[in-house]
Structure 1
Amino acid sequence: MNQHLPAVALWDGTTDAGIRSLSWSRSGADAVFEEPSRPAAAGEETPEFSVIPGLIDTHVHIVGYAGPGTADFLTWPLMTRVEEQTLHGLSNALTAMRGGVTTIRDLSADDIQFSMRRAIDAGVVTGPRMQAHGMVSMTAGHGDLFIPPAFTQRKPLADGPDQCRQLVRHFARAGADGVKIATSGGVLSVGDKSSWRNYTRAEIAVIVDEAHALGMRVAAHAHTADGIEVAIDEGVDSIEHGTLLTEAQASRIAAAGITVAPTLLINDRIAAGENGVSSEQADKAAQLVEKRDAGMRAAADLGVDFVLGTDANGHHVKFGDQMAEVRLMARVFGWTPERALQAATSRASRALGLEQKLGRIAAGQLADFVVMRGRPWQNLSDLDTANIVAVVSKGEVVSGELPR
């Protein structure tokens, strides 16, 4: 069954495509765009509504508290049954989708996210397209230090090259799209410092080698210059945060085609002491943020491909804050509205290896898009959830209504 949307102002993922009519049709379990066309009749010269591709958030943690009020970020996962966490995760996914985010990548996934992704893909439940990366962490690493030492129910850990290789294989068997590693310490993890080394070169080399051998991408959490350096050297596919990258590293990252998700909003909020963070967490973030913006703007000028990645967890950054992150990226990097939108659409799809399917509105691309009031590629303040008219995912309206 073909569906049609006449006479809208279209931004196609890379540029202003003018006034176009959109058509899409079912293709198996999904839907694809036909070639956008000019309206047959003269129609309105200035359509009320505009269309952009669905946004792609390359860095989220979907399983977080989604209920009323607040819950403690660190203790809620330890005190809540897995079945209940799954429902909260699905609620967060739906909130993101209603906010115009039609694709997400979870970077600390386990069986909850793998199961949720399969259920969404099969049409059992409604949700955004989803990728899920398993976390490969060492004992006392960034991924381990969210759980108190006395708590026995820990996430899988790997120490030494053989265990690292085995854990990558475990995630491949479980259905992961990729793996995430840490090459520096973190901010929200408890008891470490961002400057701590996570994993040796030999361990990181094995993780990257095994993941790539099994067709999986590797995302590297790295705040410090040392952590970024080893991530580049060992051939990761994306860098998450990249807070203190140097100009020399920026040139290498750009040349290698590595995407970087800067996660600006969450680190600003933690540094400001918001949302009940501890003084330790706030201090760690403040030390990073103090030096971040000038270096990142210089890196952007050198061609680093920064893409949308919020680190949304339902607590420090909500699902629905993605458009605010895009606006902040534009301010920090000095971007035009169009370049900022590319970071959340056509460029973000490349971070997931899906540039041939997602992130643009063109013939053969998968039919995910957002109908909005305003022209966000001309005025980025129009990129606001309050301006969303409808969200279409897999060719179906999942929020709002298409204009008649």
Structure 2
Amino acid sequence: MAHALLRRTAIPIRRRPHRRLEFSVPESALSDVALWDGTCSLGAGRITWDGDSITAVEAEDSGANPRYGVIPGLIDTHVHLGGYAGPGEQPWGSPWNLVTPDTEKVFHIAAQAQRAMRAGVTTVRDLAGDALQLAVSRVFDDGVQIGPRVRVNGPVGMTAGHGDLFIPPHYPHRDPVADSPDECRKLVRQWARQGAHGIKIYASGGVLSMGDRVGWRNQTMDEIRTTVDEAHALGMLVAAHSHDTESARRALEAGVDSIEHGSGVDASLWPVVTQRGIPVAPTLLINDRLADGTIPVAGEAREKAQAVVAERDANFAGAAAAGVRFVLGTDANGVMVRFGDQHEEVRLMADMFGWSAERALVSATSDAADAIGMGDRVGRLAAGLGADFVVVDGRPWEDISHLDVDRIVAVVSRGRVVSGELPR
């Protein structure tokens, strides 16, 4: 009887509806600065923004010669956020990735992304991320934590391929692989279900994977075509890791949307790449450091890097002259290339390709945004776009040496000042 009475008189629990955390950011303005909008100089002017939206970019015909320049936030189209972000260093090949639980790794991923943001790299694309990077991306997008825009491509590779040879063979916990067209299609769908923004494939072997060879074929044409077909059917771009000419040719034939590294993109492929406007992320700095021993790695990896650099140097100057669309992509992982080294990469691109300062800056802003399908949101300074920009002491579109972390005055990401202070 007592139990029945309790059931009749129990007070229902009223659950509060979930509310998205929001940060209130008042409308802001920055005047008397030199403006570069992602493609060209606007001269002296003013930029205003309201939260994460630019409201106006206005040139002012005042004859002023401002000290500070404003450029869009940089965009790195090829990073890996999953490395150790704590004090000191974890040498390459340490067991940190194998023994650290996912619940801890996610904090390192967020920390690496925030380091990039504070260095003026306000959008990054993780090529070969998983549920952890996707979680960090959503946390930043929802305003739970302050961070840059993070896009994540899920990997689709084969057993004993480049993506599978970073983990010792006896280790039981391995990332998923796909060894038939049907398995490739299923894995693409699984990444789509997790919310991945794109797909990464491995068309060749690689430099740092253990027991690998750069020229090894990774997956059959049927597997690659199926992966690309399914990804495109689900609205996802496909980035292809490629270090030799044959792998680049196969990837292009299958219809991929970008070539990563691209050291084997030779004269026979330039017409295809330029006619289709395929972006190529050259990852110069990391391969230079591996080849010259700046980064200590096993002799096998160093020899592979030296061969890659030799082939790259034979192809890239001609490729740039032919109009190949190189965009900023560093392979930054926080160890070999740090988040902030992107500025050095852009300067290196200008030197290798014989570009003007402005052409180099386009490759790291508006063109990089278009390459990852985000040109309608970032990479330019224009009303209605996201409020991501960097205030620099100088004019990097006139002198590329001004594109330097030490010359950054302030970084604004999603409308918030995340590093430094806006000049008064």
TM-score (norm 1): 0.97
d(CA) in 1 for partners of 2:87, 2:150 = 25
Match in the other structure for 2:185:
165
Match in the other structure for 2:37:
12
RMSD: 1.1
Within the candidate set 315, 321, 337, 1:317 is matched to 337
Question: Which letter does structure 2 place at the counterpart of 1:55?
Answer: L
The question of 1:196 aligning with 2:196 is answered no
Secondary structure of the corresponding residue to residue 361 of structure 1:
coil
Q: How many residues align?
A: 398
Secondary structure of the corresponding residue to residue 285 of structure 2:
helix
d(CA) in 1 for partners of 2:412, 2:120 = 9
Q: Residue 39 of structure 1: CA displacement?
A: 4.0
The question of 1:65 aligning with 2:108 is answered no
Match in the other structure for 2:267:
247
Secondary structure of the corresponding residue to residue 345 of structure 2:
helix
The question of 1:352 aligning with 2:377 is answered no
- Per-residue deviation, residues 209-234 of structure 1 (Å, max 9, x unmatched): 00000111100000100010001100
- 1:135-174 correspondence runs (5 A): 135-174=155-194
The question of 1:52 aligning with 2:71 is answered yes
Match in the other structure for 1:363:
383
d(CA) in 1 for partners of 2:88, 2:292 = 20
The question of 1:122 aligning with 2:147 is answered no
Question: Which letter does structure 2 place at the counterpart of 1:12?
Answer: D
- Per-residue deviation, residues 233-282 of structure 1 (Å, max 9, x unmatched): 00000100000211121110111121100000000011112332111110
Match in the other structure for 1:336:
356
Aligned partners of 2:42 and 2:59 also within 8 Å: no
Secondary structure of the corresponding residue to residue 174 of structure 2:
coil
User: Which stretch of the first structure deviates more once superposed, 288-297 or 150-159?
Assistant: 288-297
Secondary structure of the corresponding residue to residue 105 of structure 1:
strand
- Per-residue deviation, residues 277-307 of structure 1 (Å, max 9, x unmatched): 1111100000110121241111111111100
Question: Which letter does structure 2 place at the counterpart of 1:6?
Answer: S
Q: Residue 383 of structure 1: CA displacement?
A: 0.5
Aligned partners of 1:58 and 1:104 also within 8 Å: yes
Aligned partners of 1:273 and 1:279 also within 8 Å: no
Match in the other structure for 1:221:
241
Within the candidate set 33, 45, 48, 1:23 is matched to 48
- 1:25-104 correspondence runs (5 A): 25-26=50-51, 31-39=52-60, 42=62, 45-74=64-93, 75-104=95-124
Identity rate of aligned residues, in percent? 54
d(CA) in 2 for partners of 1:265, 1:80 = 28
Aligned partners of 2:43 and 2:60 also within 8 Å: no
Aligned partners of 1:165 and 1:207 also within 8 Å: yes
Structure 1 stretches of 4+ with a deviation exceeding 3 A read none
Q: Residue 78 of structure 1: CA displacement?
A: 0.8
Aligned partners of 1:53 and 1:369 also within 8 Å: yes
Q: Residue 128 of structure 1: CA displacement?
A: 0.6
d(CA) in 1 for partners of 2:91, 2:193 = 33
Match in the other structure for 1:272:
292
Aligned partners of 1:63 and 1:85 also within 8 Å: yes
d(CA) in 2 for partners of 1:65, 1:330 = 30
TM-score (norm 2): 0.92
- 1:288-327 correspondence runs (5 A): 288-327=308-347
Structure 1, gaps ≥5 residues long: none
d(CA) in 2 for partners of 1:251, 1:54 = 31
- Per-residue deviation, residues 345-373 of structure 1 (Å, max 9, x unmatched): 00000111111221111122211100010
Secondary structure of the corresponding residue to residue 57 of structure 2:
coil
d(CA) in 1 for partners of 2:91, 2:166 = 12
Within the candidate set 392, 396, 415, 1:376 is matched to 396
Q: Residue 91 of structure 1: CA displacement?
A: 1.0
Question: Which letter does structure 1 place at the counterpart of 2:134?
Answer: F
d(CA) in 2 for partners of 1:130, 1:111 = 13
Q: Residue 38 of structure 1: CA displacement?
A: 3.1
- Per-residue deviation, residues 178-212 of structure 1 (Å, max 9, x unmatched): 11000000001110100000000000000000000
Q: Residue 49 of structure 1: CA displacement?
A: 0.8
